[in-house]
Structure 1
């Protein structure tokens, strides 16, 4: 990869072994807290990293940037990728956040998320999933466990539902089967795979109704059937996904409610088989 093509953090990491001690200390600081360079002036960064202004100037030039502002612009572009590294500052890492702070933020995330999702939207998605020929649930990286969880919960009332990608399978082997009678749920939480837009376009072309579940970093999208944006703010270094689980729980519960007697019959059948097979 050329230096022009490399990301900001890639440039820093690749340069570390060749840097002088003060510059290496600055480089290691920037690797741990890249948000500081994206947000602060050269003098402020020098103070935080406990190096001189001259060290900052030499450092950015060794990385191949004309000046500090060029390096900061590149870091800001990379910040938009959603990496958690860019959301945590050195001051944040200096103290342990209380349990109360985490709980309070989780509650705030759930409340903010459901302010943007109407009762009608929840009903529409749940009913569409019940009526679909087949339901496909898709997620990659951190989104994959949520796709698997929603598929597992929805199996209580929906027989033909599958989580993607399947083990050993390509997406093409599944997406080729999509029809306009299907519903697709796509989880796109940070950090999203690079080809997410292409995947969404293929789903759209199939004519299938689709729900896109993302974090708040994705602007509202009119090109999808439904877009649920989940708040993921956290006082610590990891994203808080309480609201995402809340959306999954509500969709599954609402689907069971809307399924009525047919749904309850399937649930009874599942429990009967569980007893007969002595699995639980």
Structure 2
């Protein structure tokens, strides 16, 4: 498997985070958390003087503070759909000397992966808002997939001696779901680390014949980059699934990265991450089915379900 960093050009948060007019001025207090105190106060005080485009930029920023921290000016402009000159004017109107000073203020109070600040103006539309955000996240994620790279990764996973899926914190449920899907298709698929076990012991036997899928969506443990380094040093084929914030943790590292788009209301939605691992498992299954390795395994598993009486309807 050819390993290289792949970064989707379509990644990032949803471009329409909901109205911030009255919601911003009266709905978000000084104790809103994150970068809200300094940034929200400045936007509130300057809101009436902002142009329509500048208000759109402010809206995007409040809903995507993590993107602000991990993206450069060009990337932020592309993600927000707002020109760089408009962003520069907004920074100055908010009292910042330049983009660097603006980012330092955001970094001072916001940790990547923490809940974003933007709130929707119409709370009655919460259901529709969640649906819209998830649809946009799915679209951004799937439009950014390089089909050739996906094919290469899935072929390697189908042929690997062993597959290990690693995830921590919010990444663990995504990693566990991928492992459970793959386990129905082939053997030697594990989720690491096991409860109560150290990572070092779990990866000691991995070799260049294995594939490790590391799920690294927000918020990752501080040792995440070093874990990737150790796996690469052992010659293991490393695939990373992460959101936009993972790019800064992988600089200079020879991995295959698939970027999933997370969106936030009050908390982050991982819909796109689960959808991508479902796609990944299906693609691996297609390769294994072509080799005639799936149907027999599924029949055996179903037979054991029946023998044990483990599931309803067996």
Range of TM-score over shorter length = 0.7 to 0.9
- In the alignment, structure 2 segments of 5+ residues that lack a partner are 1-27, 48-94
Q: Deviations over 1:200-250 (max 9, x none)?
A: 11111111111111112333856243101111123x111121110111111
In 1, Cα distance between equivalents of 2:169 and 2:234: 24
Aligned to 1:237: 266
Aligned to 2:12: none
Aligned to 1:24: none
What secondary structure does 1:163 align onto? strand
Q: Is the 8 A contact 1:37 1:75 kept in 2?
A: no
- Work out which structure has the larger RCO, using CA pairs closer than 8 Å and 6 or more positions apart in sequence: 2
Q: Is the 8 A contact 2:35 2:110 kept in 1?
A: no
Aligned to 2:310: 279
In 2, Cα distance between equivalents of 1:214 and 1:43: 31
Root-mean-square deviation (CA, aligned residues, Å) is 2.9
| Superposition map of 1:177-256 within 5 A | 177-219=205-247, 221=250, 223-234=253-264, 236-256=265-285
How many equivalent residue pairs?
230
What secondary structure does 1:228 align onto? strand
User: Structure 1 residue 193: deviation in Å?
Assistant: 0.8
Change (3 A) 1:224 1:146: farther
In 1, Cα distance between equivalents of 2:303 and 2:297: 10
Aligned to 2:35: 35
User: Structure 1 residue 161: deviation in Å?
Assistant: 1.0
Aligned to 1:267: 298
TM-score of the two chains, using structure 1 as the length reference: 0.73
TM-score of the two chains, using structure 2 as the length reference: 0.65
Q: Is the 8 A contact 1:151 1:163 kept in 2?
A: yes
- In the alignment, structure 1 segments of 5+ residues that lack a partner are 1-27, 48-67
Aligned to 2:111: 81
User: Any runs of at least 4 consecutive aligned residues in structure 1 with deviations exceeding 6 A, and if so which?
Assistant: none
Between 203-212 and 94-103, report the one with greater CA deviation.
Answer: 94-103
In 2, Cα distance between equivalents of 1:111 and 1:29: 33
Q: Deviations over 1:38-83 (max 9, x none)?
A: 5245594799xxxxxxxxxxxxxxxxxxxx98x9765522466313
| Superposition map of 1:78-117 within 5 A | 78=108, 81-85=111-115, 87-89=116-118, 92=120, 95=123, 97-117=125-145
Structure with larger Rg:
1
Q: Is the 8 A contact 2:30 2:40 kept in 1?
A: no
In 2, Cα distance between equivalents of 1:219 and 1:167: 28
In 2, Cα distance between equivalents of 1:77 and 1:205: 32
In 2, Cα distance between equivalents of 1:124 and 1:228: 12
Between 116-125 and 256-265, report the one with greater CA deviation.
Answer: 116-125
Task: Find the partner of 2:287 among 243, 258, 267.
Answer: 258
